[in-house]
Amino acid sequence: MDVSVVGGGIVGLMSAYFLSEEADVTLYDPDPGSYSVHAAGLIEPYRFDKINTTSMLAKMVKYMRRGVTEVRQVNKLWLRELLLSLNKEPPPDAWNIMREMAEFSLKFYKEMASERNDFGYREDGLLELYTSKEQLEQGAKEERSSPFRPKHEIVDVPGFAGGIFFPELSRIETEKFVRRILHELEFRKVRIIKKRASLDLQKGKVDGKESDVIVVSNGIWMNQIFPMPLTAFKGYGYWIQGESKIDKAFVTVDEGVAVSPLSDHVKVTGGFSADFSDNWRGDFVLEKVSNFVKINKIIEKSMGFRPCSPDGFPILGRKGKIVIATGACRLGWSYGPAMGLHSTELALGKAKNHPYLSRLVERYITIPS
Ligand SMILES: Cc1cc2nc3c(=O)[nH]c(=O)nc-3n(C[C@H](O)[C@H](O)[C@H](O)COP(=O)(O)OP(=O)(O)OC[C@H]3O[C@@H](n4cnc5c(N)ncnc54)[C@H](O)[C@@H]3O)c2cc1C
């Protein structure tokens, strides 16, 4: 079987990885991984937030007041779907598949690291930091009722009202993981074509080449091919030479900034703006961590987009010979391996569309006959 994968962010790379076990794979991306590496690399699938809730909208308004979020461009289909589904609960089987996908992804990174830990894999948990007791109690209450039932404990943190520590979560160094997967793809004879591909839906061809199946995993650029309820929340990543005052990975709940202290640098990420543009507006991120991170030098910086579905659940489904894999929003790395596996099973005909995860594919993807 011949499969083309359009888009080589973390989701497309993982799709190509699993597909290459059974298919001839061609992956198209001008610079694979370049729009995914900015991420903090926290493998935190249990910190999933449903987006289509009034409490998430209230959180966004709070972020706007703190200068973390700006609303510049919003996909109208996304907004419409979000409002139509506001505060609606997904069916129980949606949570079941998310739990399975979370477990699979956590296990996948662990197994890759046990073969060879060349991507800074660590299993030292994640700390969520709160500045008010009230919010900490609310956060703890939400964790107790979370469908994921994550292990967590309330801890004291000097200078904060407290923290919630998740001991089971892991983290990685994103750019090293991309390098590792690109090596694996090379070894498995995946053809990597470094260009932006064009899709001829009528003929089912990618850049003039016919394939049995086409996996479309090009993140927010999906909207250039299929008008979908998918919007972008842009953010920024910094590789810092310096020191973090907290030796664990942490996220500040008030501002959504993440810090991951690594062997030879500190990764700092932040920003959650509704914005599809490539403009850099990330300078505020380092200000937000100036109390926790001593910055000697900025080694590198980059930006990327969280491709968000209206509720934050991945959009995964097949229509004709097109498989769509996107939408995991702020948890693309955390669900990437499981999304890659699921899109592979759909492409190879080994799995059927999951009713909830594929519903937007069924509704929005029209293939010309
Ligand atoms: C600041 C920040 C921090 C984050 N931290 C974390 C974290 O700690 N943990 C976590 O789980 N997630 C995190 N995320 C979320 C995660 O980074 C995203 O969910 C993830 O990058 C999305 O991956 P993707 O493969 O779907 O899309 P992308 O990474 O956007 O990749 C899409 C790719 O498709 C390519 N492309 C587009 N059009 C075409 C075309 N026509 N032909 C070929 N190629 C094409 C693009 O060049 C790009 O490389 C973070 C996000 C941000 C913004």
Q: What is the 3-state secondary structure (H, E, C) of the chain?
A: CEEEEECCCHHHHHHHHHHCCCCEEEEECCCCCCCCCCCCCEECHHHCCCCCCHHHHHHHHHHHHCCCCCECCCCHHHHHHHHHCCCCCCCHHHHHHHHHHHHHHHHHHHHHHHHCCCCCCECCCEEEEECCHHHHHHHHHHHHCCCCCCCCEEECCCCCCEEEEECCCEECCHHHHHHHHHHHHHHCCCEEECCCCCEECCCCEECCEECCEEEECCHHHHHHCCCCCCEEEEEEEEEEEEEECCCCEEEECCCCEEEEECCCCEEEEEEEEECCCCCCCCCHHHHHCCCCEEEEEEEEEEEEEEEECCCCCCEEEEECCEEEEECEHHHHHHHHHHHHHHHHHHHCCCCCCCCCCCHHHHHHCCCCC
Q: How far apart are the CA of 144 and the centre of ligand 1, in A?
A: 30
**Whether residues 360 and 254 fall in one domain:** yes
> Distance between CA 156 and CA 200 in Å, rounded?
57
Residue 107 domain flag: yes
**Whether residues 179 and 313 fall in one domain:** yes
The pLDDT tens digits of the residues spanning 202-251 come to 888 999 999 999 999 999 999 999 999 999 999 999 999 999 999 999 99
Q: How far apart are the CA of 223 and the centre of ligand 1, in A?
A: 14
**Whether residues 151 and 204 fall in one domain:** no
pLDDT tier for residue 367 given thresholds of 50, 70 and 90: confident
The pLDDT tens digits of the residues spanning 83-118 come to 999 999 999 999 999 999 999 999 999 999 999 999
Ligand 1 atom closest to 218 (CA): 34
Residue 369 domain flag: no
pLDDT attached to residue 68: 85
pLDDT attached to residue 201: 85
Q: pTM higher than 0.85 for the full model?
A: yes
Ligand 1 atom closest to 326 (CA): 26
The pLDDT tens digits of the residues spanning 340-358 come to 999 999 999 999 999 999 9
Ligand 1 atom closest to 197 (CA): 42
**Whether residues 297 and 197 fall in one domain:** yes
Q: How far apart are the CA of 332 and the centre of ligand 1, in A?
A: 7
**Whether residues 235 and 273 fall in one domain:** yes
Structure tokens at 283: 């300078």
**Whether residues 302 and 256 fall in one domain:** yes
pLDDT attached to residue 369: 64
Q: What is the dihedral of CA 276, 234, 88, 55, to 10 degrees?
A: -130
Range of the domain at 345: 2-125+170-364
Q: Is the CB of 131 under 6 A from ligand 1?
A: no
**Whether residues 251 and 272 fall in one domain:** yes
In the predicted structure, residue 200 carries a pLDDT above the cut 80: yes
* End position of a domain, from candidates 108, 134, 166: 166
Q: Is the CB of 306 under 6 A from ligand 1?
A: yes
**Whether residues 106 and 134 fall in one domain:** no
How many folded domains does the chain comprise? Answer: 2
pLDDT attached to residue 67: 84
